[in-house]
Amino acid sequence: MGKSSIKEACGKVVFAATAALCIAAAAAIFVFIIMKSIPALAETGLGNFLFGTEWAPDANDVYGQPLAGSYGILPMLVGTLVATVCALLVGGTLGFFTAVFLSYYCRGKVKTVFTSVINLLAGVPSVIFGFFGIKVLMPLFNMLSPNGNSSGLLLTSVILGMMIFPTVASLSKTALEAVPQAYYEGALALGGTRDQAVFRTVVPAAKSGITAAMILGVGRALGETMAVVMVAGNSPQFPEGLFSSFRTMTANIVLEMGYAGEMQMGALFATGGVLLVFVAITVILLSLVTSDKKSKGRGGKKLSFSLFNGRKICFAGKAFSFVSAAFALAFLAALIIYLLVMGLPHLSGQLLFGSYEYGGEISILPSVAATLMTVGISLVIALPLGICAAIFLSEYAGSRNPLVRIIRGAIDVLSGVPSIVYGLFGAVTFVTLLGGNYSIAAGSLTISVMLLPTVIRATEESLRAVPMSLREGALALGAGKLRTVFTVVLPSAMPGIIAAAILSVGRVMSESAPFMFTMGSSIQPMPEGAMSGGTTLAVLLYYLSGENLYTDEAYACACVLMLIVLLLNIAAEVAGRALQRKFQGEKNADKKSKRNRKKVLEQAKENG
């Protein structure tokens, strides 16, 4: 075997091994969470744990001794499901109609603006949604509440709905635009109005994709933590009305893990296990929906939505699509303007560059340093692994390979695992491996696992967008597969890879729940190194928003975090457009080259 063959084989093995890490990571999360859950479930009994109606833990309860506390999660289980359904009614409805607006009623620069709005909303940290909820929406909703306190189901549903809105809108838009234009044109040719063609023909044809978008929205709502903690009220009871305080399972974990005893901690891990079951159900449903879509194809049985049978109803659907898109734009504008107006005046030298000591004046400089360290370490880990895994899936793996299906399933699982569960996983693995102390290194390792699905999917999409003619040209010149990947494919896909890196930075900036269990559960001073604790900007905002003594500092922190998110989204947009222009130019050049070759052949035939 020659040197080139050995290099090719080694390269393929390395790429396959990095892709297989996704399987190992998904399996490890399930194994560690379940192992930590079993002792607690053995003490309480699975039935009592799932269907018990009282949650009143005792910090002194230990395994093997009579329990003084109660550990029933049914009220929180019901609260989680009810909040998710209500959030889907808000965000799913707005997202679907906004997708219709973008696909068929919006063109040119206006469409670009609204698409950017959706992308920006998707990148807003959950803690900013929660902060906006308690500072702006809660006072408004208080006027509607009979007892003057709007913390509860309605406010939580609105906040969660706006958080899942970008997911539903973006994926529904993709599904609608994937429907062949002939469907729409055929409906018009048969005498239907434009609105009827959209709602009675195109929407039913995109039913599978829209359903998948709704399922992913449900998964996002089920796993949300920080925003819910800030607006739900957090009483461990059944939600009894729109303005009644309740608690979700994710909120229960983050609220009690910091002071939990042995039995209580085991019960919280078991709660995380229940969340993993929901994740598995979501992934299975999504797989069934997408596989059903592929099996039926575009020529399958026509679907119909009775909701859109009448002409007036279709017109109402059009009107609501305009209203939904306008509402999304207004919400984002209100969010940004409010944070800038309230935050910019409080940006001082002490806040930005001063030192912080426990009990002293607040400074965001230690949090900025901790955030940058976390971003740097996590990117160094996640980017190479994610890019190598994407290369394997895009360049080497066959679609019918069983290993590839398992890897893609593992990626789906990793992308659906709630951030709070990642925090639990990081606490029992990376924190333990690094000596049992909170550290930036432990938080970075945890978030690196979270970033893998984002990096892999974005990179794979960029690699697949590279024209096949570039690969064929390199191979025809004698380059091997490995050399073609590194000298032709990767450079061509570089704008997309840069966009993936930017999205990863935004993800690190946005997360808070995983860091509370791995980097420290209080405001930390300037980190001395990767092995010291730290507080990211998002976590700092969460702590400051709960202390009325630091309201001005909370506004300033939210303003800084929002500005960073804006800059990252602009950078991602620029990189994405650069990639699109590059590939469009290469495709046009490829078409021109084919036309020239055809013309030369025709002239040769005429002369011959």
- Per DSSP, the residues of 395-443 read II--TT-HHHHHHHHHHHHHHHS-HHHHHHHHHHTHHHHTTSS--HHHH
193: left (phi > 0), else alpha (psi -120 to 50), else beta? beta
Segment 268-277 shows an average pLDDT of 94
Does 357 or 507 have the greater pLDDT score? 507
Mean predicted confidence (pLDDT) in 147-173: 92
Exposure of 518 in the CB half-sphere (CA atoms within 13 A): 33
Question: Residue 304 pLDDT > 50, yes or no?
Answer: no
pLDDT at 309: 59
Q: What is the per-residue pLDDT for 306?
A: 46
Quickly state the pLDDT bin for 400 (edges 50, 70, 90).
confident
Residue 600 pLDDT: 46
- Can you tell me the mean pLDDT for 207-234? 90
Q: Are residues 205 and 331 in the same domain?
A: yes
- Residue 298 pLDDT level (bands cut at 50, 70, 90): very low
Q: pLDDT tens across 306-345, in order?
A: 445 567 788 888 899 999 999 999 999 999 999 999 999 9
Residue 81, pLDDT > 90, answer yes
* Region 290-305 average pLDDT: 51
Query: What are phi and psi for residue 522, nearest 5 degrees?
Result: -155, 170
Does 70 map to a domain?
A: yes
Q: What is the mean pLDDT of the chain?
A: 86
pTM score > 0.75 for this model?
yes
pLDDT band at residue 300, thresholds of 50, 70 and 90? very low
Same domain, 430 and 501: yes
pLDDT score of 444 more than 80 = yes
Q: What is the pLDDT of residue 593?
A: 54
Candidates 427, 34, 63, 65; CA nearest to 263 is 63
Judge if 66 and 170 occupy the same domain. Answer: yes
What's the confidence (pLDDT) of residue 292?
A: 60
Contact 247, 75 (CB under 8 A): yes
In a domain, 595, yes or no: no
Domain count, the chain: 2
Q: Which two tokens stand for residue 486?
A: 């590194």
Question: Within the chain, what is the greatest distance between any pair of CA atoms?
Answer: 99
CB 57 within 8 A of CB 129: no
Q: What is the pLDDT of residue 607?
A: 56
CA distance 228 to 466: 41
Residues 323 and 401 in one domain: no
In a domain, 603, yes or no: no
pLDDT of residue 303: 41
Three-class secondary structure of residue 71 per DSSP: strand
Picking from 314, 346, 378, the residue at the C-terminal end of a domain is 346
Q: Which long-range contacts (CB under 8 A, 24 or more apart) does 540-548 make?
A: 540/364, 540/367, 541/125, 541/127, 541/128, 541/131, 541/512, 542/127, 542/130, 542/226, 542/229, 542/230, 542/512, 544/362, 545/127, 545/130, 545/131, 545/134, 545/230, 546/230
Query: Both 89 and 39 in a single domain?
Result: no
Does the residue 355 lie in any domain? Answer: no
Instruction: Report how far apart, in Å, the C-alpha atoms of 441 and of each of 27, 365, 434, 444 are.
Output: 22, 19, 8, 5
Residue 558 in domain: yes
Assess if residue 139 is contained within a domain. yes
Same-domain check for residues 80 and 152: yes
pLDDT digits (tens, 9 = 90+) for 44-58: 999 999 999 999 999
Is it the case that residue 291 has pLDDT exceeding 70? Answer: no
pLDDT for res 325:
92
Do residue 407 and residue 529 come from a single domain? yes
Task: Supply 194's token pair.
Answer: 């434009």
Average pLDDT over residues 368-391: 93
Query: Is there a single domain that holds both residue 39 and residue 56?
Result: no
Q: Quick check: 208 pLDDT over 90?
A: no
DSSP symbols for 488-553: IIHHHTHHHHHHHHHHHHHHHHH--HHHHHHT-SS------STTS----HHHHHHHHHT-GGGHHH
pLDDT tops 50 at residue 299: no
Torsion, Cα of 467, 102, 454, 80 (10° steps) = -150
Coil, helix or strand at residue 577? helix
The CATH number assigned to the domain holding 267 equals 1.10.3720.10
Give yes or no: residues 221 and 342 share one domain: yes
At 381 the pLDDT is 95
In-domain check, residue 157: yes
| Per-residue confidence band for 480, with pLDDT thresholds at 50, 70 and 90 | confident
Domain encompassing residue 424: 1-44+363-580
Give the model's confidence band at 401: pLDDT under 50 very low, under 70 low, under 90 confident, else very high.
Answer: confident
The per-residue pLDDT for range 518-531, each reduced to its tens digit, is: 998 788 888 888 99
| Residue finishing a domain among 281, 315, 346 | 346
193 lies in the same domain as 313 = yes
Q: What percent of the chain has pLDDT over 70?
A: 90
The string of pLDDT tens digits covering residues 132-159 is 999 999 999 999 888 888 889 999 999 9
Q: Is residue 155 part of a domain?
A: yes
Q: What is the pLDDT at residue 156?
A: 95
pLDDT category of residue 271 using cuts at 50, 70 and 90: very high
If asked whether residues 311 and 417 sit together in one domain, one would say no
Average pLDDT rounded to a whole number, residues 479-503 = 84
Reported as a single tens digit per residue, the pLDDT across 552-603 is: 899 999 999 999 988 888 887 777 677 666 655 555 555 555 555 555 455 5
The pLDDT of residue 359: 65
Q: Are residues 404 and 438 in the same domain?
A: yes
